[in-house]
Amino acid sequence: MAVCAKKRPPEEERRARANDREYNEKFQYASNCIKTSKYNILTFLPVNLFEQFQEVANTYFLFLLILQLIPQISSLSWFTTIVPLVLVLTITAVKDATDDYFRHKSDNQVNNRQSQVLINGILQQEQWMNVCVGDIIKLENNQFVAADLLLLSSSEPHGLCYIETAELDGETNMKVRQAIPVTSELGDISKLAKFDGEVICEPPNNKLDKFSGSLYWKGSKFPLSNQNTLLRGCVLRNTDWCFGLVVFAGPDTKLMQNSGRTKFKRTSIDRLMNTLVLWVRLPHLVPYPIPSGFPWVAPFAFISLSWSVVSVEVIRLGHSYFINWDRKMFCAKKRTPAEARTTTLSEELGQVEYIFSDKTGTLTQNIMVFNKCSINGHSYGDVFDVLGHKAELGERPEPVDFSFNPLADKKFLFWDPSLLEAVKMGDPHTHEFFRLLSLCHTVMSEEKNEGELYYKAQSPDEGALVTAARNFGFVFRSRTPKTITVYEMGTAITYQLLAILDFNNIRKRMSVIVRNPEGKIRLYCKGADTILLDRLHHSTQELLNTTTDHLNEYAGEGLRTLVLAYKDLDEEYYEEWAGRRLQASLAQDSREDRLASIYEEVESNMMLLGATAIEDKLQQGVPETIALLTLANIKIWVLTGDKQETAVNIGYSCKMLTDDMTEVFIVTGHTVLEVREELRKAREKMMDVSRTMGNGFTYQERLSSAKLTSVLEAVSGEYALVINGHSLAHALEADMELEFLETACACKAVICCRVTPLQKAQVVELVKKYKKAVTLAIGDGANDVSMIKTAHIGVGISGQEGIQAVLASDYSFSQFKFLQRLLLVHGRWSYLRMCKFLCYFFYKNFAFTMVHFWFGFFCGFSAQTVYDQYFITLYNIVYTSLPVLAMGVFDQDVPEQRSMEYPKLYEPGQLNLLFNKREFFICIAQGIYTSVLMFFIPYGVFAEATRDDGTQLADYQSFAVTVATSLVIVVSVQIGLDTGYWTAINHFFIWGSLAVYFAILFAMHSNGLFDMFPNQFRFVGNAQNTLAQPTVWLTIVLTTVVCIMPVVAFRFLRLHLKPDLSDTVRYSQLVRKKQKAQHRCLRRVGRTGSRRSGYAFSHQEGFGELIMSGKNMRLSSLALSSFSARPSSSWIESLRRKKSDGASSPSSVADKPLKG
């Protein structure tokens, strides 16, 4: 990430004095200006040219250009070399300038946002980029925080303010921040203008959840923590205003520290092309024995390779527009289309092996719904039919009617009427259950109009629970720092709030202590079942057993569960306990540990009330998308900042985790040794299970590091790995990262919880480094930006968490389900088209160039060319450019529906089967074979042939016209064979290119051009005379047949003896069409049709639905691949095994997944 400031030496500590710019400027802190663009007006030309000439092909072209400009060794005019190079550089420069323009536009939009800054005692409007460290700024409700601030004061009591941190951690729920008491009263402008406190704190870093420092003011020192800060990217909510002191600005803010660097992304085909260019052209850099032999090769190579760069860019541009125009990836609800934000990565979408996904807002809607509950041993939420069977969602009756409650949320739906009946009948357990939900929380209530309540919750779970209590008659209405007012069945009751024992990741529970109007003190507690069930009174054992069964049932459905309990406290005990709590809160050392011990004491021997089950609603189509991508041999890892329980529940909901899995390993170690031991046990468990299942792995094999990866990835059973952020920090250390990668890659699903944005990027980088596989990262928040930039392909979800992820992404759309279409349709087609384009391009250019090599033996390598110089210039630019572009843009092997139905079709891209070094040399061999026939057949015919008038046919110009015409016709027929999907554009370009060739040929040998340019077009009438001879046309036809027939024969035999999966799918599609046509014919002649034919027809229609359901997808796809393509399937699998074995070494544990 570039910034608007010069590089500075690393800081040891940050010192910032309020209202004193002169003092702060001597530290040369970064300004608040950010810059994500790469160029400016002055640097664009030199920097862009430098980047372009880092391409091996462009550097080679420049070297050839210099040689071609020397008349003594050049056989062609200057324009044949300069024009293509300038064209390539110009097209690329225009594309880069356009991309950078939008980056500048985005930067200016952010940097020019307005903020209120206190300058010389007056609040002034300043642009964000002019805000400096030490400034005091004022924020108002719903405004973005401009920089990392120390909260000084706010409009709320006790200096509280509420923020939304979606841009930072992906969570849309609100969080509370509080000013330290000494500054919380500085709400007046005059007082703030006199404030001269100095903050001394840690240097800039990327830790979002930690901040340590001190405020020095009026001779006193006040400790500062993360609770006192507002970070850039947050949004102020439910707070009229607040004031903050700028501590970190611009690139030093934690948001920008987590953004990562913008990396230049290049596809694997680009890298392969660089290697191939070196291979092919390296011999040309070596002096030839005959000095004049070099020049005739250079210009042809230059023109062909330079035009290939242009063609590739045009094809990629076309692919990106297809993504933009895809109506099936358009979200009508949000009016958001899919967008290809880059044009350089389209074919790599067809080679993805690993997907790294955020959870909140990407897989889920981040909308919690109260689904079920267990109260006093009775489960509510399921609806049963008259036979006692559980009713499915579509079979359920109308939802529960809450019209009795004028304060009910009309959006809330619940299907079990028996719970409302229990509430209305006054069941004490049910009333206490909902009373707890209405009191035990930190939700803020806002009532804009009478009876219109809006809840602002720190977590979506809390919001869902409080809303459920509201609808069932226990309405949380308002709160003060000391009271909570609840309307219980229409009666307003105010409880005195004595204490809040807040939730944290270690306690995993929350409690409140309240006094009711009768003076009775009660503690209400809700928390994770693993924690709370151990703190219940022994008298609740029977109820505990029943509730545990309900919890297991809810968890099996992927619901998020909480256990509810209460405890009565007598006045004397509470007073004594509250005194000890106050002392612990004032302690200078080990304050958190002391408070935890005090809380632990009171939260014991509680009485069980019941449990809740909440559904975190997945985005539409997420389970089906994950199932489909898994069948395409794509591994999906979830990297989330959410807690472990939440992430695991979502894993079950979206079917990443299933009850059928052999085991789910959970790594939670806090030290290096603990993490290493847990990973080792997981690997041993997988190996032991495989041995017991008869795989035959020996103990020595299990301990062999050289074969560890290949053995692990071949283990029997399905496993999942769940690892926490603090454990992941150790697992990513240099001496343990390979062990972590081995274990993770052997698992079907991997979930990393509580990870920081930087850890997300590190996980992606680890897989890129060792697995050598194409990675894709997808997310929707600013916390995903670093991961998106690190992966080969970054996808941004334009959701509810801002546009930071979209701005940093290569592709964007609004829903996760569109990912399957992006990869399986657009990605696979792009890879197929690009590979076919490159194979054909190298073929036609070797056929074109190598003719000169054979001609050199007969002209003494004198640098004389076979073709006319204008043919050399126009061959790639005019005669053969459009047909191959049409194929590269429009071609497809199977329709889009079949691409989605048969995800196995995606595998060739992952294995790089369609264009690699082997395929490249096959294209070269075919081109050389064609060039031999193209030269020697006309040469042999012309040696003996005569014209109609008996004169000798053999002359240089006639030979050149014959060879050139043969070449254009042969390559046109060849691209017709290569085209798998014919459109009107293909027909127009192929036959139109042939027509243009003959038109230009006759024009160049016409009297008109000779009269205008006698020195350039001297051979008047040569083309007409040559092509008027039957012998010439016979030669052209013979050459075409001999060049094309072996290709036709080879493809025919391969199709019948060794078809690949796409051949099988096309064949099955043809069979379906014939069956439907026959069926229509039978109906047309009046036959009713037999039951068997009707069944077959309906079976065909239902086959796609069965596959799309995901239930039998694996069987369907595998069955098809083995149906009539058994040799092809085994060939792909054997290749995968070879790659696995070859990559398994102590230095590189990288390997492709073996799962088919």
Whether residue 409 lies in the annotated active site: no
b/e per residue 1009-1028 (b: at least 16 CB within 10 A): ebeeeeeebebbebbebbbe
Choosing from 148, 358, 416, 891, the catalytic residue is 358
Which tokens go with 482? 């000391």
Burial of 905 per CB tally in 10 Å (0-12, 13-18, 19+): buried
How far does the chain reach from its first CA to its final CA, in angstroms? 39
How many Å apart are CA 1101 and CA 1095, to the nearest integer? 10
The answer to whether residues 330 and 609 touch, using CB atoms and an 8 Å cutoff, is no
Contacts of 1052 (CB under 8 A, 6+ apart): none
Helix (H) or strand (E) holding 1055: helix 1030-1057
Contacts of 685 (CB under 8 A, 6+ apart): 663, 665
| Helix extents (H) in 860-916 | 869-874, 881-890, 896-901, 907-910
The answer to whether residues 863 and 914 touch, using CB atoms and an 8 Å cutoff, is no
1066-1069 long-range contacts (CB < 8 A, ≥24 apart) are 1066/893, 1066/894, 1067/1124, 1068/1120, 1069/894, 1069/895, 1069/898
* The residue to which tokens 């109308």 are assigned: 398
Rg (CA), the chain: 36
b/e per residue 317-341 (b: at least 16 CB within 10 A): bbbbebbeebeebbeeeeebbbbbb
* The residue to which tokens 């608007």 are assigned: 4
How many Å apart are CA 728 and CA 731, to the nearest integer? 5
| Helix extents (H) in 746-880 | 757-771, 785-790, 804-808, 818-821, 828-859, 869-874
How many Å apart are CA 919 and CA 917, to the nearest integer? 6
Residue 577: name the closest of 601, 605, 604 by CA: 601
Q: Can you state the percent helix, strand and coil of the chain, rounding each to 5? A: 50, 20, 30
Strands ordered across the beta sheet of 174-178? 174-178, 160-164, 235-237
Task: Specify the 3-state DSSP secondary structure of 87.
Answer: helix
- DSSP letters, 964-975, are HHHHHHHHHHHH
Which tokens go with 196? 């001269």
Q: Cα–Cα distances in Å, from 637 out to 121, 876, 890?
A: 52, 45, 33
Handedness of CA 1002, 1005, 1006, 1009 (dihedral sign): positive
By annotation, the residues acting in catalysis are 358
